[in-house]
């Protein structure tokens, strides 16, 4: 019994990942710069976004998360894609692992100046080709999708 209690206290017991739905917004400004936030839990740069609350629409969650993390407000945006798979696994400091299914939107219509808030410790615009590291695998996937969308001319009503 003591060995079992020690294992729990050291978090040696593995837990299967939970699957959650997330929503985010990839923002571009007039100069073509991309907005990223640096996460406080792991120091990685990411797209503003987070968990969709039960009963909440994904577009409403994306707008809420953008405002909570950057104080920015988004106008019109379009769907960039839905992302899942190994690149979207995230392990948190408490040992919990989440397999995210993320609905990602794209906008060029934001108002305000980005100010880090909530779980973001920094929020900044970055020129194309100058995106900093470290990035999560999911964020790399999002930026690749953005690049493909812009070069295909299919970013929707921006």
**What does the pLDDT read at residue 158?**
39
Q: What is d(CA 49, CA 25) in angstroms, rounded to the nearest whole number?
A: 6
Q: Mind spelling out the 3-state secondary structure of the chain?
A: CHHHHHHHHCCCCCCCCEEEEEEEEEEECCCCCEEEEEECCCCCEECCEEECCCCCCHHHHHHHHHHHHHCCEECCCEEEEEECCHHHEEECCCCCEEEEEEEEEEECCEECCCCCCCCEEEEEEECCCCCCCCECHHHHHHHHHHHHHHHHCCCCCC
Q: Name 23's bridge partners.
A: 50, 103
More confident residue, 96 or 10: 96
2-12 residue pLDDT tens: 654 455 555 55
Does pTM surpass 0.75? yes
**What does the pLDDT read at residue 95?**
85
What domains can be seen in the chain, in order of their start residue?
Answer: 21-151 (3.90.79.10)
45-84 residue pLDDT tens: 999 999 999 999 999 999 999 999 999 999 999 999 999 9
Per the CB < 8 A criterion, the answer to whether 105 and 80 are in contact is: yes
14-47 residue pLDDT tens: 678 899 999 999 999 999 999 999 988 888 999 9
Closest by Cα among 67, 64, 62 to 142: 62
């Amino acid at each position: 019994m003591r060995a079992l209690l020690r294992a729990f206290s050291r978090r040696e017991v593995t837990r299967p990942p939970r699957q959650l739905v997330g929503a985010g917004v990839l923002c571009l400004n007039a100069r073509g710069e991309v907005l990223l936030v640096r996460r406080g839990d792991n120091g990685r740069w990411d797209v503003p976004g987070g968990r969709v609350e039960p009963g909440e629409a994904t577009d409403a969650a994306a707008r809420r998360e953008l405002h909570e993390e950057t104080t920015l407000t988004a106008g019109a945006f379009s769907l960039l894609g839905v992302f899942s798979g190994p690149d979207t696994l995230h392990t948190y400091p408490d040992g919990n692992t989440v397999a995210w299914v993320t609905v990602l939107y794209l906008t060029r219509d934001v108002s305000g100046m980005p100010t880090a808030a909530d779980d973001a410790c920094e929020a900044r615009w970055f020129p194309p080709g100058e995106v900093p590291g470290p990035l999560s695998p999911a964020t790399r996937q999002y930026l690749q999708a953005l690049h493909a969308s812009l070069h295909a001319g299919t970013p929707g009503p921006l």
